[in-house]
Amino acid sequence: MIQQCDLLLPSFSKGFHLITRKVEKCLQDSFGALPETGLLNLFILHTSAGLAVSENADPAVRTDLNAAFDRIAPESSAYIHADEGPDDMPAHVKAVVVGSTVTVPITGGRLRLGTWQGLSLCEFRAQPQKRKIVLTLHS
């Protein structure tokens, strides 16, 4: 069976933000208990933010990731597309590198993430924006 719901996230500042608990709450509110086994696919409906599985314990990792991505796609580069400000095109580049989807296995009725893994929203715009993620549960 395939079930689907939307997770509307509040505005986050630029950076990598753990959203694992928000995803789990959305799933609980929408479907109740998760199946014993299955897959959860997350898809972000935006082109200037991404999703990733990343470190969930040390916030310094998320800070370093943000700095690394700023070096990969700096705002100071001469981009042709600059309609929405100097951070717009770098945000698109970073979102393409990170990707718009993550799939996580479900085992024992829980998301099967490793000990130090968490689901992260990768917000690449300086101006905070609400983001929507489609959660598709395959059981």
Residue 83's pLDDT is 86
How many folded domains does the chain comprise?
A: 1
Q: Cα–Cα distance between 31 and 5 in angstroms, integer?
A: 9
Tell me what pLDDT residue 51 has. 98
What is the structure's pLDDT at 128?
83
The pLDDT of residue 39 = 98
Structural domain that includes position 98: 2-138
pLDDT recorded at residue 100: 98
Q: What is the pLDDT of residues 58-104, one digit of tens each?
A: 999 999 999 999 999 999 888 999 889 999 999 999 999 999 999 99
Half-sphere exposure of 8 (CA within 13 A, CB side): 1
User: pTM value?
Assistant: 0.95
Give pLDDT, residue 82.
Answer: 84
CATH number assigned to the domain comprising residue 111: 2.60.120.460
Indicate the Cα dihedral angle 91, 94, 100, 104, nearest 10°.
-130
| pLDDT 10s digits, 13-59 | 999 999 999 999 999 999 999 999 999 999 999 999 999 999 999 99
Residue 117: what pLDDT?
Answer: 98
Give residue for tokens 């014993």. Answer: 36
